[in-house]
Amino acid sequence: MSFRRINDDILGGLETPGLAYFAGVGLALAVLALALYAFWYQVEVGLGVAGYQPPVLWAVYITNFVFWVGITHSGTLVSAVLYLCRARWRTGIARASEAMTVFAIMTAGLFPIIHLGRPWFFYWLFPYPNQRQLWVNFKSPLIWDVRRSSGTSSRSAAT
Amino acid sequence: MSLLDAGNNGPLVERVGRRTFLKLLGAAAPAVAASACSPIPPERIIPYVIPPEDEVPGVATWYATSCRECPAGCGMAVRTLDGRAVKVEGNRDHPVNQGRLCIRGQAALQGLYNPDRIRGARRREVMNAAAGQSRLTPVPWEDALAALTDRLRMARQDGRANRIVIVTPLLTASLDRLFDAWAKALGARRLRYEPFAYEAFRAASRICFGRDGVPHYELARADVLVSFGADFLETWLSTVEHSGGFAQARRLRDGRKSRFIHVEPRLSLTASNADEWLASRPGTEILVALAMVHVILAEGRSQTIPAAEVTTIRNLVAPFAPDAVAGRTGIPAQTITNLARLFSDPQAGPGRSLAIGGGVAASGSNATGTQVAVHLLNYVAGNVGTTAQFGPDASYGRASTYRDMADLVASMRAGEVEVLVTYEVNPVFTLPGALGFDAALGRVPFVASFSNALDETTARAHLVLPTHSPLESWGDVEPRAGVRGLMQPVMEPLFDSRHVGDMLLDVGRRLGGDVSAALPSGDFYKYLGSQWQALHSQAKSAASFDDFWAEALGRGGMWSAIAAEKVTLSAGIAASSFVTAELGGTAGAPVLMPYPSLHFYDGRGANRSWLQEIPDPVTKAAWSSWAEVHPDTAKALGAKDGLLVTVESDHGKLDVPLLVNAHLTPGVVAIPIGQGHREYGRYAAGRGVNPIVLIDPAPEALSGGARWLSVRVRVTPRALRRPVPRLQASEQQFDSGVAQVVSLADLNAGRLEAPEPHRSLYADHKHPAHRWGMAIDLDTCTGCNACVAACYAENNVPVVGAEAMYRNRTMAWLRIERFVEPSAEGSGTRFIPMLCQHCDHAPCETVCPVYATYHSDEGLNAQVYNRCVGTRYCGNNCPYRVRRFNWFEPDFPDPLHLQLNPDVTARSVGVMEKCTFCVQRIQAGKRQAKDENRPVKDGDVVPACAQTCPGQAIVFGDLNDPQSRVSQLGKEARGYHVFGELNTRPAIMYLKKIVSPPGAGTNRT
């Protein structure tokens, strides 16, 4: 690894990126557009398009949610273990894992909404004061999921 | 360079700046979101300015009429709201069904609101004569009636009789008389065509007792019921009446139960409810009956018949000892002997048993012989005059025979028929293909169809005159002597149709001359009135005719008891010969056994979406046809379940998926009748197969009936899989204890399990006012699906269609689970209606994140549709799997949406739903009691399922009231909770089915 190479790598971030980068961004945007269209289609037509087969009522969306939450936890765990062990070389790794955690929890937070039958009412899962004096059912494990996704995980990742 | 410097001159991106951009984004996004979530446009509801006299919005008006979904003629009470019929129930006062309706009756509304009803008269227009292209185009009524009049006039001109043929179903009373008068005036031939016309029955009555007729059966009085194929819980004669009578007979009395033995090759729904199912070889049931007669006479067990007749019959049945027939029937000789001894017990006295025959056991070349044997069996046991009564004969005695239809086809083929007029019959579908009705129809120059559904026959007509559906019609129905039910329109005609009676009279008047003179004046309503004036004079009633008429309309008809007539054995009986059914085709090949379907009857129900959607009670398949074979047969064919096979006889060929069914005699291919329509609307057309195309067209010799059981078939597996959507994957319970039984011995000895103890971390719910609960008697439930259809009708349950059925996405709030379990006590099939249990400790309530489901203070588990976000956690947590999710927006194609019950929310996509114990009826009952200033009493609130059950298996009421029937049933020793060990504390108590041990060596059900 020459100094020239290190120079180029660091300064490269300040220059206009090349074609490969834009091609990559274009591909990512295309996939995002497809995902948005798919989600719109599902909201428009109904969850039936997701291929559920009763008596199985929870399928890939919840599975995905758990997967991404798992990644979140792994990031937090790595960071915490490194801190407890006072590893002096933990900075770079911790930075990467915490960045991964933050993005993973944001991804995970999407899935309960995608999974809902009426996602336009997703905000009913949050205990906000309203004139109907309705609160959420704190006994329900799903609310614990919501609490965890919206609050705890994000906060712990940010520290 | 600062962004503030850009000012008004610079590139746009710099003039706008970062902060402005973010402000705009922040404002635009919600604006876009808000515009996307446009509210549903408001509907303007305009109240009546001048309301109709007897209509109060929200208050239902009930009309008494009669059901015409099959010839049984049950009485119906129709609930109408705002001039629309929304629910049908049985008429409590009617002697045939006593307030209950079967699944076909409940689906009658879908005939009224069928989206494929013909609207307006149609005439055939030829577009391309050479290519044979023509179509039915709308024409004004005036033209249509004039066209019919002209053709009839032409056909009568040369004075030859019988150039005109009129084919109707089995009609009775006034409309039948009018059709007869019309036919007579025109010099036309008339046929009353029913695909299931019980010809063999009538021929047997003629042979045995010298009188035509189908007797009246009283199943309620039979301690021992032996059925030879007679599917009295499905289509045989009068199913609601017989289901009710059967349920009554089966009640425990003094620690004893009646016995029911069913003999047929297949475990049908009726056979499933038997104490013993004897799997006979097809067409050999006659031998079992004769062997029983043999034993009864040989052991001196005959009752009430003179010695001379004993001798005659003994000689007749001499060759049919049990040992002689056992090999041919596949039923052990000792079983037959035991059965005979059970059937006629001189110590018990005469008239305590009943033998009935029909269905697949009386549908071969020996059908008449089989029915003669059954009549003899009843005769020697002294049942004729008690449980089997001639006198109040069923109207089937007046139907035409299949041979009459075959003769008609011959006439048509010979060019003898100029005008064929049909009314609500579909011979193109229900007659065997090989008879050639379809081709012969091409030789008839003019075919006119009075029908409101575009079935196969109507689709071939030159003129279509749509009739009112039965719910829009005046009329009367006489299902048996002594019962005269009335029909009245429950709402204004929905579409452009007319009453067939009105049209007959109109055409008669147009024809003028002697035809017009021979017919009554006025319209059909006036004619009906005149018929009832005659009844009024006969009844010698003190009231005026108007009062008499109003009272009869309110009651639903007029009934009188007809005494049983004495019959004696006819001398002609000695000439009878008894054989097993002859079967065409290669010896050793599987026997085709088409069987009538509970849902579709003879195919007429296939265009009703509820009947397609609700699964068949035995196979739990929906929206399809199938060919059932025994596993050994399947192995011999080299085919597996779900494989498409070609079934071919000497007369036709069809492709149908295979369904392996262990509860079937090996060597039989059983295909239900009713599907396989080519026309008949969106729900029926192009779906399934019609096994009638395979059968032999030659009628049965003695009776002229159709021979459904007549051919052996070649079954060839194909390389395609077409599995049938089945809503219950397995018929085994795997020790889960869902449907439980108790043996009669244990019940009498009091050896029953104690209910599970109650335990809870939380305080119990308090139910200060009412606590609603249900008791379901599994001993009475026959699995007939009537309650399921009633629930669909009452609660706006959507139909999801065949595709969704493959993914098990049924929306049925109530399902009948069927389990088959051989065990030491001879228990076999168990049916258990499964619905929301309204658990006191509901697993679903805890886990809903938004409190969309909660426990009401009356014990109901309530679902708040507008709070549900669709997480479906509740559905996962329900151990009974009774919660249903709306995967798509429910679809009610116009005009089926008119059937929707306005008292029940229609759910939208994304919400969960489930049984509510008909909370709208609970509220209505409470409101009624409050209006009348009294407490709610037992019987005020009856959910739809409980209301219609022909056996009264479901009982609903207030558990807080110790006197209520449901409380008392809940205390019975037989009571248990499904999955009680999960501590859900359901509000539904199931009563275990009582099983009694089989006789020695008999097959178990």
Q: Could you give the 3-state DSSP secondary structure of residue B213?
A: coil
Average pLDDT over all residues of chain B: 91
Task: Provide φ and ψ at B385, rounded to 5°.
Answer: 110, -20
pTM of the model: 0.92
Residues A150 and A80 in one domain: yes
Please state, in angstroms and rounded to a whole number, the distance separating the CA atoms of residues B882 and B460. Answer: 45
pLDDT at residue number A145: 84
Supply angle C-alpha B221, B224, B225, rounded to 5: 85
Residues A21 and A92 in one domain: no
Band (B3; pLDDT cuts 50, 70, 90): very low
Q: Is A54 on the interface with B (CB under 8 A)?
A: yes
pLDDT, one tens digit per residue, over B837-877 is 999 999 999 999 999 999 999 999 999 999 999 999 999 99
Chain A hits for B885, CB-CB cut-off 8 Å, are 47, 54, 57, 117
* Cβ contact B887–A53 (<8 Å): no
Residues A24 and A97 in one domain: no
Which CATH superfamily groups domain B199-386?
Dimethylsulfoxide Reductase, domain 2 (3.40.228.10)
Please state, in angstroms and rounded to a whole number, the distance separating the CA atoms of residues B947 and A142. Answer: 39
Chain B hits for A117, CB-CB cut-off 8 Å, are 868-872, 885-886, 909-912
Please state, in angstroms and rounded to a whole number, the distance separating the CA atoms of residues B7 and B24. Answer: 18
Residues A69 and A94 in one domain: yes
* Cβ contact A54–B850 (<8 Å): no
Q: Is B850 on the interface with A (CB under 8 A)?
A: yes
Based on its alpha-carbon atoms, the radius of gyration of chain A, rounded to whole angstroms, reads 21
Token pair for residue B946? Answer: 């409980």
Q: Is A113 on the interface with B (CB under 8 A)?
A: no
How far are the Cα atoms of A137, B601, B700 from residue B595, in angstroms, in the given order? 53, 10, 17
Could you identify the residue written with the tokens 């509820």? B610
Q: Which fold has domain B741-752+767-995?
A: Alpha-Beta Plaits (3.30.70)
* Cβ contact B37–A122 (<8 Å): no
pLDDT, one tens digit per residue, over B243-268 is 999 999 999 988 889 999 999 999 99
Residues A7 and A79 in one domain: no
Out of B850, B872, B881, closest to residue A125 by CB? B850
* Cβ contact B849–A51 (<8 Å): no
Band (A47; pLDDT cuts 50, 70, 90): very high
Q: Is B107 on the interface with A (CB under 8 A)?
A: no
User: Min CA distance, B850 vs chain A (Å)?
Assistant: 5
Q: Is B62 on the interface with A (CB under 8 A)?
A: no
| In chain B, domain spans | 3-36, 122-192+400-559, 199-386, 591-721, 741-752+767-995
Token pair for residue B481? Answer: 């002597």
Q: Are the C-beta atoms of B445 and B418 separated by less than 8 Å?
A: yes
User: Number of C-alpha atoms within 13 angstroms, CB side, residue B649?
Assistant: 27
CB proximity list for B795: less than 8 A, separation 6 or greater? B813, B901, B904, B916, B918, B944
pLDDT, one tens digit per residue, over B386-418 is 999 998 889 998 999 999 999 999 999 999 999
Could you identify the residue written with the tokens 């244990």? B746
Torsion of CA B438, B441, B443, B445, to 10 degrees: -150
Please state, in angstroms and rounded to a whole number, the distance separating the CA atoms of residues A65 and A73. Answer: 12
Please state, in angstroms and rounded to a whole number, the distance separating the CA atoms of residues B882 and B884. Answer: 6
User: Min CA distance, B868 vs chain A (Å)?
Assistant: 8
B134 has pLDDT over 70: yes
Residues A25 and A61 in one domain: no
Of B53 and B165, more confident: B165
* Cβ contact A115–B871 (<8 Å): yes
Residues A12 and A58 in one domain: no
Please state, in angstroms and rounded to a whole number, the distance separating the CA atoms of residues B553 and B525. Answer: 13
B74 has pLDDT over 60: yes
Rounded to two decimals, the ipTM of the complex is 0.91
Percentage, residues of chain B above pLDDT 90: 80
Q: Which of B580, B596, B626, B706 is nearest to B280 (CA)?
A: B580
Residue ranges making up the domain that contains A3:
1-45
pLDDT, one tens digit per residue, over A89-126 is 888 888 999 999 999 999 998 999 999 999 999 999 99
Q: Which of B209, B206, B215, B176 is nearest to B392 (CA)?
A: B215
Could you identify the residue written with the tokens 């109709």? B52
Chain B hits for A140, CB-CB cut-off 8 Å, are 846-849, 873
Please state, in angstroms and rounded to a whole number, the distance separating the CA atoms of residues B807 and B800. Answer: 11
B985 has pLDDT over 50: yes
* Cβ contact B809–A48 (<8 Å): yes
User: Min CA distance, B881 vs chain A (Å)?
Assistant: 7
Band (B814; pLDDT cuts 50, 70, 90): very high
Q: Are strands B653-660 and B643-648 parallel, antiparallel or unpaired?
A: antiparallel
B229 has pLDDT over 80: yes
Residues A23 and A62 in one domain: no
Token pair for residue B922? Answer: 């609970």
pLDDT, one tens digit per residue, over B535-591 is 999 888 888 999 999 999 999 999 999 999 999 999 888 888 899 999 998 999 999
DSSP code for B321: -
pLDDT at residue number B83: 87
Q: Could you give the 3-state DSSP secondary structure of residue B104?
A: helix
Out of A48, A55, A143, closest to residue B881 by CB? A55
Chain A hits for B848, CB-CB cut-off 8 Å, are 137, 140
Q: Which of A73, A71, A95, A101 is nearest to A83 (CA)?
A: A95
pLDDT at residue number B428: 97
Chain A hits for B870, CB-CB cut-off 8 Å, are 47, 116-119
Overall average pLDDT of the B209-225 stretch: 93
Residues A39 and A79 in one domain: no
Q: Is B124 on the interface with A (CB under 8 A)?
A: no
Supply angle C-alpha B187, B188, B189, rounded to 5: 130
Token pair for residue B260? Answer: 């029911």
How far are the Cα atoms of A48, A131, B910 from residue A118, in angstroms, in the given order? 12, 21, 5
Out of A117, A124, A137, closest to residue B885 by CB? A117
Residues A73 and A20 in one domain: no
Residues A92 and A120 in one domain: yes
Chain A hits for B872, CB-CB cut-off 8 Å, are 57-58, 117
**Amino acid found at B771:** R
User: Min CA distance, A93 vs chain B (Å)?
Assistant: 33
Count how many domains chain A has.
2
Q: Is B37 on the interface with A (CB under 8 A)?
A: yes
Q: Is B656 on the interface with A (CB under 8 A)?
A: no
* Cβ contact A137–B848 (<8 Å): yes
CB proximity list for B1000: less than 8 A, separation 6 or greater? B334, B335, B338
Out of A117, A124, A146, closest to residue B872 by CB? A117
How far are the Cα atoms of B327, B363, B701, B957 from residue B775, in angstroms, in the given order? 45, 39, 50, 9
Chain A hits for B726, CB-CB cut-off 8 Å, are none
The Cβ of residue B380 has, within 10 Å, a number of other Cβ atoms equal to 30
pLDDT at residue number B842: 94
B122-192+400-559: CATH, from 3.90.550.10, 3.40.50.740, 3.40.50.2020, 3.20.20.70: 3.40.50.740
CATH topology match: B199-386 vs B591-721: no
Q: Is B869 on the interface with A (CB under 8 A)?
A: yes
* Cβ contact B889–A46 (<8 Å): yes
**Domain range B591-721, CATH class:** mainly beta
B856: phi > 0 → left, psi -120 to 50 → alpha, else beta; which? beta
Band (A153; pLDDT cuts 50, 70, 90): low
CB proximity list for B833: less than 8 A, separation 6 or greater? B776, B781, B787, B814, B815, B816, B817, B945, B953, B954
Based on its alpha-carbon atoms, the radius of gyration of chain B, rounded to whole angstroms, reads 31
Out of A46, A57, A134, closest to residue B909 by CB? A46
Please state, in angstroms and rounded to a whole number, the distance separating the CA atoms of residues B798 and B987. Answer: 26
Residues A76 and A135 in one domain: yes
DSSP code for B445: S
* Cβ contact A116–B847 (<8 Å): no
Please state, in angstroms and rounded to a whole number, the distance separating the CA atoms of residues B495 and B620. Answer: 35
Overall average pLDDT of the B177-205 stretch: 95
pLDDT at residue number B1: 44
Q: Is A33 on the interface with B (CB under 8 A)?
A: no
Please state, in angstroms and rounded to a whole number, the distance separating the CA atoms of residues B170 and B398. Answer: 7
Q: Is A125 on the interface with B (CB under 8 A)?
A: yes
| Mutation for testing the B interface, residue in A58, A135, A136, A140 having most B CBs under 10 Å | A140
Q: Could you give the 3-state DSSP secondary structure of residue A12?
A: helix
CB–CB contacts below 8 A, A to B: 103
B432: phi > 0 → left, psi -120 to 50 → alpha, else beta; which? beta
Q: Are the C-beta atoms of B596 and B706 separated by less than 8 Å?
A: no
| Mutation for testing the B interface, residue in A39, A126, A137 having most B CBs under 10 Å | A137
Overall average pLDDT of the B43-61 stretch: 80
* Cβ contact A46–B867 (<8 Å): no
* Cβ contact B868–A120 (<8 Å): no
Q: Are the C-beta atoms of B834 and B814 separated by less than 8 Å?
A: yes
Q: Are the C-beta atoms of B738 and B988 separated by less than 8 Å?
A: no
Q: Is A129 on the interface with B (CB under 8 A)?
A: no
| Mutation for testing the A interface, residue in B866, B871, B877, B884 having most A CBs under 10 Å | B871
CA A77, chain centre distance (Å): 17
